[in-house]
Every structure is written in structure tokens, then in C-alpha cells.
Structure 1
Amino acid sequence: MKAILYVGHGTRSKNGAEEVREFMGRIMERSEVPIQELCFLELTDPPIEEGFRRCVERGATEIIVVPLFLLAAGHIKEDIPKELALLKEKYPGITIKMKDAFGVQHKILDGMAELIRNTVPELSAADSVLIVGRGSSDPGIHVAFSEIVCGIRDRLPVNHVSVCYLATAKPSFDEGLEQILQMTQGQVVVLPYLLFSGLLLSEVNHKVLKRQKHGQRIVHTGPLSKHRVIEDLIIDKASE
């Protein structure tokens, strides 16, 4: 029997974890696969091993692993495959198939552009967009964000589109925000390239609010899971 095991990153934020569970509850209701479980790589329960075990206990003989990750970095290339290799040894009779990260897709870029338009209905050529990534030392991530910047620039009539990162990579969020505010005559739209809320997004919220209180023209779209396109992509990924 087929099962789907969704693997989230995990967060120390209780609200962030609950948001993921509610979001994935909607996904599971839309899917026709009889066995579906949600687990997390770190920080949030249940861990991957427990989610996998629940699938097996419910009768799964084939488990499709769907990582809830936008881009392929260390977690996709190393951490999750390592966990699955151990589970393959423990459950040799179970077929395991792992899906790729979502990658840079036209549908996601279209959804990002629509999320920006919904946040700023009267978007003008004087406005700018700051895309905020989680950050990674993987060089492929920087290539992907270059594609994302170009994709948003092609879809929106704005003055400038740039990217910054919350950890590991440069420029930092503070640096990127300061730079784009200096070069923008209109308002700055901050778009976190994150699926869900969590401590990282709380940091973005706090700093945007602080800037707003000082009279700077800056708005924040919220996470990408606010757009229906992400739900649709997860369903498509699971049924490929």
C-alpha cells in the first residue's frame, strides 16, 4: 500500500509548528493517498523515524517521501537521504522514493508576484522588492536566487529586485534592507522566501515593524504558504 511521508524542516516556534500542521492538514484532505504522515527533520516532533514507522504500522509497503523544502541544499542532498538510508536497513521490505525539492519553478515565481501585488495593489515603478532567503553555504542556492530575482524582475514593473539572507550567506537581512531602502524612492516590499512562519520570520517581522515605526515605507508579504500555489505544488509533487 502506498503512503506519503511529508518532511518539514522543523522550528522552535510553537506557532510556526502549528501553522505547518494546519497547512498540511489541508493538503492531506485534498490527497487521495490512504496513508499520509507529517514529520520533521529537526526541532519539531515527530522526527522522520517516527513518521516512517507510523506509515509502516498503517500498512504501507511503498513510502513516497516529499520534502517540504523550496531549494536543494544540505538537508535535501545529505541529511534526509542519510536518515532514509538507515530506515531502509531497518525496513528492507519497504520501497522508499524521495522527491526533489521544489526548485525554481514558473508557478512559484507567478505566485510570488501575485503575493506581492496582493500586498501592494498599486505597485509602481518606484517600488522595490527584497527577497529574503534562509541562507546556505551551498553555491547552488546562490544560483537559484539569481534565477528568482530575474523571474520577479520579469514579472513586476518595479525599480529594483534584490536578495539577502537570514544566516550563513551575505548580504545579511540588515545589510540588504539598508541598501535597498537607500536606492528606492517608493516603498520596499519584503518577500521572505520561506514556506512557513517561525523564529526566522519573526525576526523579519520585528525588523520591518521597527522600520515602519520610524516612518520608512516598507511592507511585508508573509510566508509563501499564504498562496494557494504552494498547496497545489505539494499535491503535484506527491502524485508525480
Structure 2
Amino acid sequence: MDQGPVLLVVAHGSRDARHAATVHALVERVRSLRPGLRVETGFLDFNLPSVPAVLESLAGDGVREVVALPLLLTRAFHAKADIPAVLREAPPVLRVRQAEVLGPSPLLMTALERRLYEAGLCPADKATTGVVLASAGSTDPEAIAVIASFAREWRRTGWRAVRPAFASARLPRTQDAVRQLRALGCERVAVAPYVLAPGFLPDRIARGAADADVLAEVLGSAVEVARVVLQRYDRAGVRSMSAVGA
């Protein structure tokens, strides 16, 4: 039975071993939700296998259709520049379509909220709690605008306040946003890392959360993240098949 294009999850990679381990755990979750779908993982840097190596292997296996999904929460430099550049070098026998990045998505909001509850909050705390939406940061204005919009949407679900913060490239830092929420009069302050896997910048977020009441875990292999991966795959795969049949 034809299972559709192969899904290639494209991760950035990191010197921190926790990063690759988390990516692989997420990919296993995706496989568990879609048995029979071939899912491969490639890294842009630091980890193996590299994206070019995976593409070569797929071509050698007789694969002809690939959906490459950037394991990113915002559409910034990696999604706009270096991932497309790598995919353009794919073997000519492959038809490769790049899927959209994961964020924003209501499912990611649900995952963030669940991580906060796992860290000790409960739904009854929402109206008196300020949340720092702490992302890695970017120099791309589009990515920053998306984070700000996401924070506003999350605030409308009932939190006392939601403030974006960034571990790099932009201000405020996590610790500054924590202080802002204290000054606003929030009964408690929680930090929700809007990142997929542990590493250097998530560790910086954690250090900045020292004065917060609650620090959630990274999104990691949350089932909601895996569902977003499959949503992005399905949308890209349908467009790819339509283009081929046109």
C-alpha cells in the first residue's frame, strides 16, 4: 500500500547530546501516531546523519517523493535560507517539498500549557498567574512578530498576563520578563520555554527563570508536537501530489 511521500524531519543539531536524543524521541512519537509512514531524521549541523546523506540514501532506496519538515517553531533564517539551500542539492530523482514550520499552532499552545501543569500549576491558577513565553530568539522581524502574536493569543485563554522573552538576539531576557510580571502584580510567575529540545539557549532560559515560581520543561516529544508534525506533513504532501498530477 502506498503510504505517501517519505517524511524527512530536519533538525538543526547541537553539541548537546540531549538535543539529538529529544529529536529522536519526537520522531518515534510521530511514527507511533502514523504506523506505516516512513519517517527519517537529518541534521543540519553537529549531529549525524546529515540531511544530504539522508537524501542520498532515500534516492538509493528508490524513493521519489519526500516532504522535508523543518523542526522549527518560527519561520526565520534556517527555514528561509539554509534548509532550502540544502534541499536544492538533493539528488535529481527526488521530488522534495519543504513543509511549513511547526508554529504557530493551537496544539503548541496546548502543549505549553500541559508542560506548565506538569511543573505544578493547575487550571485554577490561570487567572492569577503571569507566564513568560521564553523562546530562543531571532534577528528575523517576522519570527519575532509571530512570537508576540502567539503570546497575545495565549493570554486570551485566561492567563493573568503572557509576556514574550528571548534567550538571544532580542530583548527582554527571561529574567527581565519575570520581573515585569512581578511588577504587574501577578500572584505567581511561570516560565514556559517555547523551544523543542534542551541545549545552550534553553539552559540560558532556565537560568533566567531562577526567580520564577514555576519553570516548565521544553516541548520535547509532547504528543501535541508530534500531531503538528503530521499536520504539516499532510498539507505539504497533498500539495506535492497535486503538483505531480497536474
TM range (shorter): 0.7 to 0.9
Structure 2 alignment gaps of length 5 or more: 236-246
Q: In the TM superposition, what is the alpha-carbon distance from 1:25 to its structure 2 partner?
A: 1.9
Q: What amino acid is aligned across from residue 80 of structure 1 in structure 2?
A: I
- 8 A contact 2:26–2:221 mirrored in 1: no
> Mean Cα displacement is larger for which, 173-182 or 77-86?
173-182
Residue 106 of structure 1: aligned partner: 106
Residue 179 of structure 2: aligned partner: 178
Residue 6 of structure 1: aligned partner: 9
Residue 130 of structure 2: aligned partner: 128
SS, match of residue 225 in structure 1: coil
Given the two structures, how large is their TM-score scaled by the length of structure 1?
Answer: 0.86
What percent of counterpart residues are identical? 20
- 8 A contact 2:133–2:163 mirrored in 1: yes
Q: After the TM superposition, which residues 47-66 of structure 1 pair with which residues of structure 2 at under 5 Å, given as runs?
A: 47-66=50-69
Asked if residue 21 in structure 1 is aligned to residue 33 in structure 2, the reply is no
- 8 A contact 1:127–1:184 mirrored in 2: no
- Spell out, residue by residue over 1:42-77, the C-alpha distance to the aligned partner (whole angstroms, 9 max, x if none): 222222111212222222111111111111011001
Tell me which stretches of 4 or more aligned residues in structure 1 moved more than 4 Å: none
Q: Counterparts of 1:36 and 1:68 in 2: how far apart (Å)?
A: 13
Residue 145 of structure 1: aligned partner: 147
Structure 1 alignment gaps of length 5 or more: 212-216
Q: CA RMSD in A?
A: 2.1
Q: Counterparts of 2:49 and 2:100 in 1: how far apart (Å)?
A: 21
Residue 169 of structure 2: aligned partner: 168
> Mean Cα displacement is larger for which, 186-195 or 167-176?
167-176
Residue 229 of structure 1: aligned partner: 224
- 8 A contact 1:9–1:42 mirrored in 2: yes
Q: What amino acid is aligned across from residue 102 of structure 1 in structure 2?
A: L
Q: In the TM superposition, what is the alpha-carbon distance from 1:135 to its structure 2 partner?
A: 0.8
Q: After the TM superposition, which residues 36-115 of structure 1 pair with which residues of structure 2 at under 5 Å, given as runs?
A: 36-87=39-90, 91-115=91-115
Q: Counterparts of 2:217 and 2:142 in 1: how far apart (Å)?
A: 25
SS, match of residue 169 in structure 1: coil
Q: Counterparts of 1:34 and 1:126 in 2: how far apart (Å)?
A: 43
Residue 214 of structure 1: aligned partner: none
Q: Counterparts of 1:232 and 1:34 in 2: how far apart (Å)?
A: 14
Residue 244 of structure 2: aligned partner: none
- Spell out, residue by residue over 1:148-204, the C-alpha distance to the aligned partner (whole angstroms, 9 max, x if none): 111111112x32210110011111223223322333441111001111222222222
Distance 1:147 1:69, change over 3 A: same
Q: What count of residue pairs does the alignment treat as equivalent?
A: 230
Distance 1:30 1:72, change over 3 A: same
SS, match of residue 25 in structure 1: helix
Given the two structures, how large is their TM-score scaled by the length of structure 2?
Answer: 0.84
